[in-house]
Amino acid sequence: MKEVYYVYNNEAISSCIFLSILDDVENIDIPRSCLILPFLLDDRTVNYLNNNIDIDFNLEEMISDSPRLFTSFNKRYLSLLPVTINSLILLRKSAQILIGTHISKLDTDVFDSADLGQRFRKIETIIPRFLMLIDPYSTQELYKILKVQL
């Protein structure tokens, strides 16, 4: 099962997600970037956000409304941490991002006109909503709310 998980949630789609997010925000701190993939590579969470795109709620309301989406968040976090690190390293080595105290995108549009598949299109649709959900919280608050155990 683990092999299928890593084939489905790989560095290619993860790198595209990071670049898409960095199109919407100027930069992101490294600990916050580690929370992105457990959210956006989970089909149930993506479907929930897609199905509730017009409903106004915050992250805490989402968690209380649908706790089943977050019962395995820490496990997903730990499982996807190597994919996050690998993706960020690939993007840095290919001169697409700059990593310092924060991660920022360089002026390269590698995937601008590429069709990256239905799954990525679905994820890309909810990225602005995802960013609105996490924006009001500090990174420390997000780790506490999501009960991430390091």
> For 43-66, how does the pLDDT look when each residue is reduced to its tens digit (9 = 90+)?
999 999 999 887 889 999 999 999
CB atoms within 10 A of CB 78: 13
Q: With 60 as the cut, is the pLDDT of residue 70 above it?
A: yes
Q: Does 56 map to a domain?
A: yes
The per-residue pLDDT for 114 is 67
Mean pLDDT (the chain, rounded): 89
The per-residue pLDDT for 109 is 65
Q: Does 150 map to a domain?
A: no
Q: Does 102 map to a domain?
A: yes
Which residue range(s) make up the domain with 63?
Answer: 2-145
- The pLDDT-based confidence of 7 (bands split at 50, 70, 90) is low
The answer to whether residues 110 and 23 touch, using CB atoms and an 8 Å cutoff, is no
- Segment 65-88 shows an average pLDDT of 94
- Segment 132-149 shows an average pLDDT of 96
Cα three-residue angle 84-147-12, rounded to 5 degrees: 15
Total of domains in the chain:
1
- Segment 113-132 shows an average pLDDT of 87
Whole-angstrom Cα distance, residue 103 to residue 27?
Answer: 5
Q: With 80 as the cut, is the pLDDT of residue 129 above it?
A: yes
Global pTM value: 0.89
Helix (H, G, I), strand (E, B) or coil at 29: strand
Q: Does 140 map to a domain?
A: yes
- Segment 16-24 shows an average pLDDT of 94
The per-residue pLDDT for 10 is 87
- Segment 6-35 shows an average pLDDT of 90
Q: Does 110 map to a domain?
A: yes
**Cα dist. 7→11, 13, 83, 115, 120 in Å?**
9, 10, 11, 19, 15
C-alpha dihedral sign at 46, 120, 5, 79:
negative
CB atoms within 10 A of CB 60: 13
Q: With 60 as the cut, is the pLDDT of residue 4 above it?
A: no
The per-residue pLDDT for 53 is 81
Q: Does 97 map to a domain?
A: yes
Q: With 80 as the cut, is the pLDDT of residue 146 above it?
A: yes
